Amino acid sequence: MIFKKRFPVIIIFFLSSGLSFGQMIILSGPEKGSYNRFARDIVTVLGEKNGIKLINLPTGGSAYNFKKISDPNSADIIALIQSDYLNLMEAEDKVNNTNKTGSLKVVLELAKEEIQIVAKKSSGLNRLQDLDKKKVAIGNEDQGSYATGKIIKDRSKVNWTSYYANLDLMLKQLSAGSIDAGLIVGSAPVNILDIDPQVLTDGITMLELDDFNGWAQYYENDTVYRNEYKWLDKDIPTFSVRTLLIVNESKLTSADKQTVAAIKSGIIQNLELLRKQGHPKWKEVIIPDEPIEVIANNTASARTTVPAIAGNKDAVTYRVQIYSRNYQKKDDHVIVNGKSFDTYVYSHLGAYRYTIGEFTSLPPAIELQNASRKSGYNEAFVAAFKNNKRSTDQDLFK
């Protein structure tokens, strides 16, 4: 999944300076879902001990959080949300000529959330395709899974009948046989699915997902592993989205901006502690690689560099970074403006960074950056390399 916006880079020393920040409420999600767990982890690890007074407020889910945080009349300013739901709302803004997402910025990309479709073991359902003409619960209108379910159904052309129910009701309906399957989007293990298999008298299973009709084009390949649930007897191939921590910048006071920056810094600085004590998926959180901003509409004055030739110790090249991953794909390539590009992958800050193109001057790299953004890679930016190593020297972008 592709993300659009980042919170501005702020160099801060708040956590070590003894400064005190105001109270801030994080909208999380259902009490038995992964969002609530992540928010609790953040509150526990940061909390007042770092001068940040955080409160975790359980909610209905991503859709509810989006409505609250985008509402100019609501006091809510920071929340967790699914990346595909944010992208869907951005698309609706373009279609409807609205601007609900214009002030929303991504503070951090957190863990992956797997698409998990469960059914009774006796149902004989094994794959997404098996849901044709079945009854599938996809959450209620407050949850991000509601939107994910609609996206999967529309794009895959699997003609199931959608039912709307929260997580607790979904399992009750599944047990009673009033639905055939239930769709949950969350970071495995999701608490509500971490159940004794005997809760459902004939057991529970998870459906395997594969991409067909292009429904999963903008989702990440993923796996729910057998050790993540006691009732799971094999690894399940699926797809995932990202948990995003977002803010509405239009609502932030100067003090709020400092608090949000301190939260971001606190999560990054305490990431190892979160990985040890928090939800298992903290291990997949990527430390952000902040780009050096290039003025894209001023390419005429952009600096031309010396060609990168063998033996030139100062050889400089420019590539366009399109996304980061916790894993390295093999033989990966992307399509930009109808042209196929092989990816060049480098490791930085504990994650794999994917780039395309290679230029010895800045203007064509900026052109490819702009084309990449128009092709859906909204966070594409130009990265400079000196002797094939990433450089953040700002003089290279003048």
135 shares a domain with 24 = no
Is the predicted pLDDT of residue 260 greater than 50, yes or no?
A: yes
> Has residue 6 been placed in a domain?
no
- The contacts of residue 264 (CB under 8 Å, 6+ apart) are 7, 107, 108, 245
> Has residue 3 been placed in a domain?
no
> Has residue 316 been placed in a domain?
yes
Percent of the chain with pLDDT over 90: 47
- The contacts of residue 390 (CB under 8 Å, 6+ apart) are 346, 348, 353, 383, 384
Considering only 193-202, 301-310, 341-350, which range has the smallest mean pLDDT? 301-310
Is the predicted pLDDT of residue 197 greater than 80, yes or no?
A: no
Asked which of 224, 254, 284 is the last residue of a domain, the reply is 284
pLDDT at 395: 84
CA separation for the pair 119, 173 (Å, rounded): 11
CA separation for the pair 293, 9 (Å, rounded): 11
Looking at residues 66-83, what average pLDDT do you find?
95
228 shares a domain with 147 = yes
pLDDT at 53: 84
352 shares a domain with 261 = no
Asked which of 256, 284, 312 is the last residue of a domain, the reply is 284
Under 8 Å between Cβ of 358 and 344: yes
3-state SS assignment for residue 168: helix
Looking at residues 81-99, what average pLDDT do you find?
92
CA separation for the pair 174, 176 (Å, rounded): 5
Per-residue tokens: 241: 């989205």
273 vs 51: which has the higher pLDDT = 273
Share the mean pLDDT of the chain: 84
49 vs 279: which has the higher pLDDT = 279
309 shares a domain with 346 = yes
CATH of the domain at 123: 3.40.190.10
Q: In the chain, how many domains are there?
A: 3
259 shares a domain with 276 = yes
Considering only 157-166, 224-233, 321-330, 349-358, which range has the smallest mean pLDDT? 321-330
pLDDT at 50: 61
**Of the candidates 352, 152, 111, the residue with the CA atom closest to the CA atom of residue 243:** 111
Q: Whole domain around residue 39: which residue ranges? A: 14-109+244-284
198 vs 355: which has the higher pLDDT = 355
236 shares a domain with 164 = yes
pLDDT at 380: 85
pLDDT at 236: 96
pLDDT at 252: 94
pLDDT at 292: 67
120 shares a domain with 94 = no
pLDDT at 294: 62
248 shares a domain with 230 = no
Is the predicted pLDDT of residue 237 greater than 60, yes or no?
A: yes
38 shares a domain with 22 = yes
Burial class from Cβ neighbours inside 10 Å (0-12, 13-18, 19+) for residue 105 reads buried
pLDDT at 17: 40
**312 confidence band (pLDDT: 50, 70, 90):** low
pLDDT at 309: 44
pLDDT at 350: 67
> Has residue 176 been placed in a domain?
yes
> Has residue 292 been placed in a domain?
no
The tens digit of pLDDT for each residue in 202-214 reads: 788 999 999 999 9
CA separation for the pair 21, 257 (Å, rounded): 10
Model-wide pTM > 0.85: no
Under 8 Å between Cβ of 386 and 315: yes
Q: What letter represents residue 126's amino acid?
A: N
CA separation for the pair 75, 32 (Å, rounded): 25
CA separation for the pair 70, 104 (Å, rounded): 7
**25 confidence band (pLDDT: 50, 70, 90):** very high
pLDDT at 298: 43
Is the predicted pLDDT of residue 72 greater than 60, yes or no?
A: yes
CA separation for the pair 22, 168 (Å, rounded): 35
> Has residue 204 been placed in a domain?
yes
105 shares a domain with 249 = yes
CATH of the domain at 319: 3.30.70.1070
32 shares a domain with 21 = yes
> Has residue 97 been placed in a domain?
yes
pLDDT at 348: 76
377 shares a domain with 347 = yes
The tens digit of pLDDT for each residue in 128-180 reads: 999 999 999 999 899 999 999 999 999 999 999 999 988 888 888 988 899 99
Looking at residues 249-265, what average pLDDT do you find?
91
pLDDT at 13: 37
The tens digit of pLDDT for each residue in 265-304 reads: 888 888 889 999 999 989 888 777 766 666 544 443 333 3
Looking at residues 247-258, what average pLDDT do you find?
93
> Has residue 139 been placed in a domain?
yes
